[in-house]
Amino acid sequence: MATEEIVSPKRKRRRCLPVREIMEAEEEKPEFKVIDGLRYVVPYNFVLRTYAKKRWFDQSILEVLTREFQAYPASYYKSALASGRITVNDKIVACEYLLRDHDFIAHYVHRHEPPVLDREVETIAETEEILVVNKPASIPIHTTGRYRHNTLLKHLERKHSKKLYTCHRLDRLTSGIIVLLKNTQKAKEYGALFRDQQVKKTYLALVDGEFPETGMSCSEPILQVSHKLGINKVDHDNGKPAHTDFKRLHYDSATRRSLVLCLPQSGKMHQIRVHLAHRGFPITNDPIYSRENWAKKSTEEFSKELTEVLFKRDNISRLLNKEQESSAILSSKDSSDQVKSNSTKPPDETSPKLLTSDSETKQIADKLTTTEPTNMSSTSHETAENSENKLTVSGDGIKQAAEVSMTTDGKFCLDGKVFERIPQLSYDEKCPECAWIRLVPALEDMFIFLHAVRYELDGKSYVSPLPEWCQKEWIPSKFHDLLQISSD
């Protein structure tokens, strides 16, 4: 058993752990299953640990857990405290226990990670100190939220049998260049280059609307509305300086969509996405910043609205199972049923026309899987009107409130689509999530049309191939050298 020393908060070397920092109880190799183009981690035992925060002092442990960690209901926390799955200072405590300074909380869980697209990570360049890769969409770079083993860093560390270090990041839904370092000294040097804005970055984005042929710039300040949820917005009073230059590469009048070259001069979170949306050209399938009337809302209105919908998205399984016992549903349905996707004509690879509809976005999603998808969401003739066991819950995630209903063959209708439930890969009778119905994510919701295509730093240039959703014919010849596109 591998253990990690946790320095007592009373010592001078106290290390105050973040609320959601996670440490393994046992160092075990994760087990993966690839099903219909998605890579799953077989659920595993894990320990979540943290010291009590000052804002928790003199509050009951049950009150704090229910408020701060809303992934589970209060009934679960009561049971977990009574059974010892949650302890304080390695002891079982009552729900009424009042937290004090230096209290150390441990939560023993059966960890369920979301699936990611099963894509190979392409190496762009490698030396004794540097590894540059082309990150696929859908996979986070490092441990965050419910992701740990299904992360880029863990995947590459397993592949190379070597510790790797990050110096920058990309959003989970964004694809493109990631620079990793093989030692801490180089990581510090490259991290300083990114912090000091000594890196020239080039992105590709597919946006709604006819982007100006002459391009444009945006210097609107950006405010982080929610650190916890990762939401930003233009705010002239409280935002921090940010600047992005944009150049139009291609426009299709039939779809009213434009391919845009994005050149961020600063490095704020979601900067490109925020600036494009603020200028009225949101990324076509951006789940956050393409919301209607987004730029017209006040910071307070935007924060409240997005907090609500993101909470519903991240807790959809809890909402889905809130009104009835999951075990009753699961015992009456065959978990081996699979949703078959509708056959669609593949896009014409020689046509310069941009994506014409959401169905073509889905076709691109199909191309992002390594196998023909069969266990994925698809539009179906079965809808809430002709399905049974209607479950009324709030939200389909990021779009709008919707009803979830179950079809006669055990599938789930949500926002006009039919979803399969995530297969049960392991079972722990004390784990509430093992009894929950988790839905297989729609492939078209696992990426956005934003790609980091070129980075220049430390006297070197790194260029990735064009993403699947961007055709070579869309790139004007004067940009071929920049993007290293051959003329043949």
Cα separations (Å) of 369 from 34, 39, 280, 316, 444? 11, 10, 32, 24, 11
3-state SS of 199-230 is CEEEEEEEEECCCCCCCEEECCCEEEEECCCC
103 annotated active-site: no
Angstrom CA distances, 139 to 213, 310, 333, 443, 454, stand at 34, 18, 31, 13, 19
Under 8 Å between Cβ of 364 and 469:
yes
Tell me which residue has tokens 């994510």. Answer: 441
What are the angstrom distances between the C-alpha of 270 and each of 121, 133, 152, 371? 23, 21, 19, 31
DSSP 83-151: HTSEEETTB---TTPBP-TT-EEEEEEEE-PPPEE----EEEEE-SSEEEEEEPTT--SS-BTTBSSSS
Q: Which of 171, 208, 286, 396 is catalytic?
A: 171
Q: Which two tokens stand for residue 130?
A: 């540097």
Q: Which residues are catalytic?
A: 171
